[in-house]
Amino acid sequence: MPNKLNYLKKIFPGVSLALIFYLFSHGINNVLAIEVFGTEKSPISTVLIAIILGIIMGNAFTPRPGMMVGLDFTQQHILKLGIIFLGIRLSFEEFIKFGSIALPLIITCIVGVLILIKLLIKKVSISSKMSYLIAIGTSVCGATAIVATAPVIKAKKTEVAYAIANITLFGVIAMLVYPYFAEWFFNENNLKAGLFLGTSIHETSQVAAAGLIYDQQFNSPETLNVATVTKLIRNTFLVIMIPLFAFLYNRGEAKNEKYSIISIFPYFVLGFIGMIIVRNLGDQFFSIGNDKHFLWINLIEYLKILATTFLTMAMAAVGISINLSELKSMGYKPFIVGLIAAMTVGFISLIYIETISKFFI
Q: What is the pLDDT of residue 345?
A: 92
Mean pLDDT of 211-223: 91
Mean pLDDT of 239-261: 65
pLDDT in tens, 253-262: 545 555 566 7
pLDDT in tens, 125-134: 777 788 888 8
Mean pLDDT of 337-351: 90
3-state SS of the chain?
CHHHHHHHHHHHHHHHHHHHHHHHHHHHHHHHHHHHCCCCCCCCCHHHHHHHHHHHHHHHCCCCHHHHHHHHHHHHHHHHHHHHHHHHHCCHHHHHHHHHHHHHHHHHHHHHHHHHHHHHCCCCCCCHHHHHHHHHHHHHHHHHHHHHHHHHHCCCHHHHHHHHHHHHHHHHHHHHHHHHHHHHHCCCCHHHHHHHHHHHCCCHHHHHHHHHHHHHHHCCHHHHHHHHHHHHHHHHCHHHHHHHHHHHHHCCCCCCCCCCHHHHCCCHHHHHHHHHHHHHHHHHHCCCCCCCHHHHHHHHHHHHHHHHHHHHHHHHHHHHHCCHHHHHCCCCHHHHHHHHHHHHHHHHHHHHHHHHCCCCC
Domains of the chain, first to last: 2-356 (1.20.1530)
Does the pLDDT value for residue 92 go beyond 60?
A: yes
206 or 124, higher pLDDT: 206
The whole-model pTM stands at: 0.84
Q: What is the pLDDT of residue 361?
A: 58
Does the pLDDT value for residue 228 go beyond 60?
A: yes
Does the pLDDT value for residue 55 go beyond 90?
A: no
Q: What is the pLDDT of residue 254?
A: 42
